[in-house]
Amino acid sequence: MFILFVLSGQANAQSSIGDYPSRPVKIVVPLGAGGGTDIFARNIAQKLSERLGKQFIVENRPGAGSTIGTLAVAKSPNDGYTLLLSAIGTYASAMAYDQKLNYGNMRNDFAPISLLGNSTLVVVVNPNIGVKNIKELITLAKNKPGLLNFGSSGTGGLSHLSGEMFKQMSEVNMTHVPYKGTAQIVPALISGEISLTFDTPPAYLAFVKENRLKAIAVGGTKRSAFLPDVPTIMESGLPNYDSVASYGLFAPAGTPKEIINLLNREVNQILLLSELKDNLVPQGIEPAGSSPEVLSQFTDAEIAKWMRVVKLGGIKSD
C-alpha cells in the first residue's frame, strides 16, 4: 500500500535524538479546520503532547488543493519539529495535480512516519435536488448536463479528484466549485449553493441525522460502520470506484531515523488507546497504524490512481 521515499540528507542525521522534543512541535494540516484531517490531527497532537512532555501544535494551512501547507513542510528543516498530517489521497492528489511545484517529487521530499487511520468518503447531497441514490444522481446529471455542481475543499485535492473520478466513470457533466475547506462547504451545501460534495463524514453527520442533508453513498470498497445503511458507490453501479481518506503522518526528508522511529512507536501506541477510538469513531474515523514502509507503499498506489484521473480529465494546476 505506500511509496518508498528516498530519505535525502541522511549523512547529516544525528546519531541519536538527544532530548527530542526539547521544544514545541508543529503539525501542519494542509486543509481548513473542521474536516476529518483536522479532527484527527488535534486528537493525535494532544496525545503526543501528553506522552512526550512537549506541546504538539496543529497549524491549519489550507489552499491550492492542500499544496500550500504541504510545500511549507517540504521546505522546513528536517529536525523533527515540523510534521505533515494529511489525508493520503489529498497528499497523493496534490502530487498528481501539480507536478511543477518545488516538492514535485514527494518521494524525495518526505519521510513517512505512520499510517494513522481511515475515513470513507461520503457523497452528500442537498435534499432539494430530489435524488435518493447514485443511480438517480447519474440519471439527473445525464438528463440535465451542467445543472449539478459539486463542492470540494480545494482544486486538486482529494474531494475534487474524487468528484472528477465519479464524473469520468459515470460519464456525466457536473461543475466543480472549490472552497477553502469543509467549514465553507457545509453551509454552501445546506443553502443549495452547491448540489453535492464528496467529502469525509465528520462535518456532515449531524446534518444528515437532522435530514438537512442526505448521504446517498460512501466511496470505499465496503460500507461504513458509521453509515451502515448507506451503500457504496461500487454497489450502486460503478464497480471500480474506490476513494477513501486514509490519514498519514510525514516529516521532511532527511529527518533523523531515530526521530522517525520514536514518532512511529508513540503514534502506534496512541492509536490503540480506547480514549482515542472513543473520540474518533463517532466522527467516522477508524484508527489504524503502520510501519513507515507500509505507509510508503500505500501512498505510491494512491499517487498512481490519482495521476490517472488527472491525466484522463486533463486537469491543470491554476
What is the full DSSP assignment across 237-305?
T-TT---EEEEEEEEETT--HHHHHHHHHHHHHHTT-HHHHHHHGGGT-EE----HHHHHHHHHHHHHH
Same domain, 126 and 232: yes
Report yes or no on 3 lying in a domain: no
Last residue of a domain, one of 204, 236, 268: 236
Q: Which pLDDT score is estimated for 106?
A: 59
Last residue of a domain, one of 179, 203, 236: 236
Report yes or no on 4 lying in a domain: no
In whole angstroms, give the CA distance from residue 31 to residue 72.
13
Same domain, 59 and 110: yes
The count of structural domains within the chain is 2
Q: Which pLDDT score is estimated for 133?
A: 97
Please report which helix (H) or strand (E) contains residue 39, including its range. Answer: helix 36-52
Report yes or no on 215 lying in a domain: yes
* Grid cell at residue 199: 467529502
Q: What is the mean pLDDT of each run of 10 residues along the chain (318 residues)?
A: 36 59 96 85 97 97 82 93 88 65 62 92 97 97 95 86 96 94 93 96 90 96 88 94 92 96 98 93 87 91 86 78
Please state, in angstroms and as integers, the Cα–Cα distance from residue 87 to each residue in 12, 109, 135, 172, following that order. Answer: 29, 17, 28, 26
Report yes or no on 308 lying in a domain: yes
Last residue of a domain, one of 217, 236, 255: 236
- Please name which of 29, 229, 240, 248 lies closest in space to residue 122, comparing C-alpha atoms: 229
Report yes or no on 306 lying in a domain: yes
Looking at residue 239, its amino acid is P
Same domain, 232 and 131: yes
Same domain, 165 and 223: yes
In whole angstroms, give the CA distance from residue 77 to residue 57.
17
Q: Which pLDDT score is estimated for 20?
A: 97
Query: Helices 257-270 and 36-52, interaxial angle, to 10°?
Result: 110
Same domain, 114 and 134: no
Spell 175-207 as b/e; 16+ CB within 10 A means b.
ebbbbebbbbbbebbeeeebbbbbbbbbbbbeb
Same domain, 256 and 180: no
Same domain, 126 and 231: yes
Q: Which pLDDT score is estimated for 215?
A: 97
Report yes or no on 173 lying in a domain: yes
Q: 50 and 275 in contact (C-beta within 8 Å)? A: no
Q: Which pLDDT score is estimated for 51?
A: 97
Report yes or no on 318 lying in a domain: no
Q: Which CATH number goes with the domain that contains 281?
A: 3.40.190.150
Total residue length of the chain:
318
In whole angstroms, give the CA distance from residue 115 to residue 290.
5
The phi, psi pair for 86, rounded to 5°, reads: -140, 150
Q: What's the predicted TM-score (pTM) here?
A: 0.75
Same domain, 86 and 222: no
SS3 state at 26: strand
Domain extent, residue 154, equals: 122-236
Same domain, 261 and 250: yes
Q: Which pLDDT score is estimated for 10?
A: 37
